[in-house]
Amino acid sequence: MTAIIADDEQLSRTLMRRLLEQEEVEILAEVENGTEALLQCEKLRPDLLFCDIRMPDVNGLETAAALTQFEHPPLLVFVTGYSEHAAEAFERAAFDYILKPVQVERLRLTLERSANRIQTQSPEKVYPSLKRLPIRMDYAIRLIKVEDILGATTQQKRVIVHTANQEYKTNYTLTQLEQMLPDEDFMRIHASAIVRLSEVQEIMFLGNHTYEARLSNGVLVPLGRSQYPELQKRLGL
């Protein structure tokens, strides 16, 4: 089985990893908050997500709510020091609820039940590229379809994701987005801009070796001098 661990405490993640690896569970990723947990679950498709409830940014219960929108969600196991959230956790479709400090026998029971549940599911698993990008809103997580993303730019130290009709402020860095978005569809054309190649409608020469690109929604993004020849090549110009 494969798993992701989501907990804002490094010590808790380390202890959980040790216990799971002793039970021959492969750990695909460790994350500190719900936003990153959703991203990695969408990208890596683990069998299990071991998730704390009280985390910064997006907490465990909010993560559980967002997972219900996934096409292939992992089995969600809450691992927390607080028992008062158990009822709400199961209302959010949690598979199990383990209290800290985690006892080996209790964890083994969860893993046995998980293995039985997984065996009833399709034996074939496909690990596609990212399909939706989780973005933290005020009191929710918006899952943006990758095919709706036209590009991303850095504005006042925040990365803005652009769609046809809306802009979303994110907590990602542009480098993170560059790694997450499919290479065949996107290109980083400037230190502060990534674009979907099919949405580049115009390339403008501004003089003094300065360039801009216009996206299909009218947004203008900077185009680096060194990236200009590669963009032309990838656009077939």
Please write the tens of the pLDDT for every residue from 12-67: 999 999 999 999 999 999 999 998 999 899 889 999 999 999 888 788 888 888 88
**Using CA atoms, how far apart are residues 194 and 21, in angstroms rounded to an integer?**
38
Average pLDDT taken over every residue of the chain: 88
Confidence grade of residue 118 (pLDDT, cut at 50, 70, 90): confident
**Using CA atoms, how far apart are residues 95 and 89, in angstroms rounded to an integer?**
9
| pLDDT of 193 | 97
Percent of residues, the chain, with pLDDT higher than 90: 60
Q: Assign domain 148-234 to its CATH superfamily.
A: LytTr DNA-binding domain (2.40.50.1020)
Residue predicted with more confidence, 166 or 124: 166
Q: Give per-residue pLDDT as tens, 60-90.
A: 888 888 888 787 889 999 998 877 767 666 6
| pLDDT of 124 | 44
Looking at residue 139, what DSSP letter applies?
Answer: S
**Using CA atoms, how far apart are residues 208 and 168, in angstroms rounded to an integer?**
32
**Using CA atoms, how far apart are residues 9 and 7, in angstroms rounded to an integer?**
5
Q: What is the CATH number of domain 2-119?
A: 3.40.50.2300
- Start-end of CATH 3.40.50.2300 domains in the chain: 2-119
102 by DSSP, 3-state: which? coil
| pLDDT of 125 | 42
- Record the pTM: 0.64
| pLDDT of 195 | 98
- Start-end of CATH 2.40.50.1020 domains in the chain: 148-234
Residue predicted with more confidence, 146 or 125: 146
